[in-house]
Structure 1
Amino acid sequence: MSARVIAFGTALLPPLLLVGAWQIASSTGLFPPQILVSPADVAGTIAELVRNGELGSHLGDSLFRLFWGFGIGALAGLAFGTALALSRLFEALFQPLFQAARQVPILAFIPMLVLLLGIEEGFKITVVAVAAFFPVALATFDGVRGIPKGWLEVARVYRTPFPSLLVRILIPATVPPVLTGLRLGLTRAWLVLVAAELLAADNGIGQMMEMGRQLFRIDVVLAGVIVSGLIGFALDRGVKLFERRYTRWRVA
């Protein structure tokens, strides 16, 4: 048996044990069905939500907000982190505020953003952008600051234009830490988006779960939990695989 098969079986064992314990708890009546439904019922609910198009509609709305918000937040984080690392004046002006703001839980910004933007698309996209901004900016700052000073001094001596400096030095030297920041930012953005949809949204995976709670449909709530977990896992693994391939190329 190959090592990959063993590793796959080992990774699959904990979810199977969890589903088994879940099935036993639901079938023995340890919890009332209004609180805990069986895995088969949740699977049937997911299948029904897929058939009637409700799951696809909610998931499409959530992913639309995620990728727009993450794109905006990641680009802003890349620009801010680079400026923070390269400019002493910029660092002196904004480093204290940045360090203080990134300690605040993202959900604490939601009441203020709702007052400013309402609960329309701009609010959800902004929440995602803020969630992605801080880890990407911090990773970019650390990556640029980690570049050997001699490289930047040589570029300064030869008066290398900023576009050339960016393409030939900054990007190749900072891609590994930046990819890690992007991975953390994407995962964080997805978690915050689902939470924001639970609190203030008309559609999306989080709102589907909230409607299930209001209607006492625990099967819909658990379906949303499973789908959001699978989406988050897929996003994280996708970025991790890209990061691993780039690292192999860099080492080679």
Structure 2
Amino acid sequence: MTRDWKRFLPFLISPLLLLVVWWWATAAGWYSDDVLVSPAAVLATLQELVASGELALHLKTSFLRLLIGFGTGAVTGVLFGIWMAISPRVEAFVLPTFQGLRQVPTIALIPILILLLGVDESFKVIIVVKAAFLTVALAAYDATKGVSRNYFEVARIYHLPKTTLYRKLIIPAITPPVFTGLRIAFSRSWTILVAAELLAADSGIGQMMQLGREMFRLDIVMVGVVITGLVGFSIDKIFKWAEIRLIPWQPAVKA
């Protein structure tokens, strides 16, 4: 067995064990098909949804909302976090409100946003923007605050331009923790989006699951659960892979 397989094998144990327990529970008849469908039935439904193009359509809609919302929230979050950290006036004025809003679960704002925005696309995008913005802004704020003040003093003594200060000092120093914040924010944004689609949407992976529940098609619901988990897992792995290659001076911890 090669070294790569030895490292990869432990990751297969828990998913395979879960699959065996799932199959065993359905084969033994512990639960009826209305409560727990078999892995074979879920696989057959997955193939059906892929063949009809329905799954691809729902995923495309969800990914579009995710990318627009996360992109907006991440960019504004990084800029706002740095601004809040380097400006004492902005920090004193904004930080208490920011910390208060950060404690409010994003999912708790869904009913309020539905009343204010309705159930159009803007609602789904804004809920993702909120989830990404606060997480990324906090990461950028803490990372910038963590940069030693001595560096700024040296830059002031040598009269370094602000562009050089940010490009050569601040950006490299805060990139690793900000990248970790981006990875966490992306995963949170995905879960929040699926939850929002479950409650109010006419398309998307969450709406597919909700429609399956209304039709008492637990197999469709389980397909949505599996796809949601796989997408979240893949997002996390892609960010870790990118972190290792884009930040060579501080490699990410492999997992």
For structure 1, the 5+ residue unaligned runs are none
Whether 1:139 aligns to 2:139 is: yes
Q: For the residues of structure 2 that align with 1:46 and 1:7, how far apart are their CA atoms?
A: 30
Match of 1:31 in 2: 31
Match of 1:211 in 2: 211
Shift of 1:163: 3.1
Q: For the residues of structure 1 that align with 2:156 and 2:194, how far apart are their CA atoms?
A: 46
Q: For the residues of structure 1 that align with 2:138 and 2:186, how far apart are their CA atoms?
A: 14
User: Superposition pairs for residues 1-252 of structure 1, below 5 Å?
Assistant: 1-250=1-250
Query: Which range moved further: 140-149 or 1-10?
Result: 1-10
Aligned length: 251
| Counterpart residue type for residue 223 of structure 2 | A
Q: For the residues of structure 2 that align with 1:157 and 1:96, how far apart are their CA atoms?
A: 33
| Counterpart residue type for residue 179 of structure 2 | L
The sequence identity of aligned pairs, in percent, is 48
| Counterpart residue type for residue 162 of structure 2 | F
| Counterpart residue type for residue 42 of structure 1 | V
Q: For the residues of structure 1 that align with 2:89 and 2:142, how far apart are their CA atoms?
A: 17
Residues 48 and 144 of structure 1: CA distance in aligned 2, closer, same or farther (over 3 Å): same
What CA RMSD, in Å, does the superposition of the two structures yield over aligned residues? 1.3
| Counterpart residue type for residue 200 of structure 1 | A
Shift of 1:158: 4.3
Shift of 1:6: 1.7
- Alpha-carbon contact 2:176-2:250 (below 8 Å) kept: no
TM-score (structure 1 length as normaliser): 0.96
Q: For the residues of structure 2 that align with 1:72 and 1:224, how far apart are their CA atoms?
A: 26
Shift of 1:9: 1.4
Q: For the residues of structure 1 that align with 2:125 and 2:155, how far apart are their CA atoms?
A: 38
Shift of 1:148: 1.4
Residues 83 and 211 of structure 1: CA distance in aligned 2, closer, same or farther (over 3 Å): same
Deviations 1:166-185 (A, max 9, x none): 22221111100000000010
Deviations 1:172-203 (A, max 9, x none): 11100000000010000001000000011110
Shift of 1:2: 2.7
- Alpha-carbon contact 2:194-2:205 (below 8 Å) kept: yes
TM-score (structure 2 length as normaliser): 0.95
Q: For the residues of structure 2 that align with 1:161 and 1:64, how far apart are their CA atoms?
A: 39
| Counterpart residue type for residue 168 of structure 2 | R
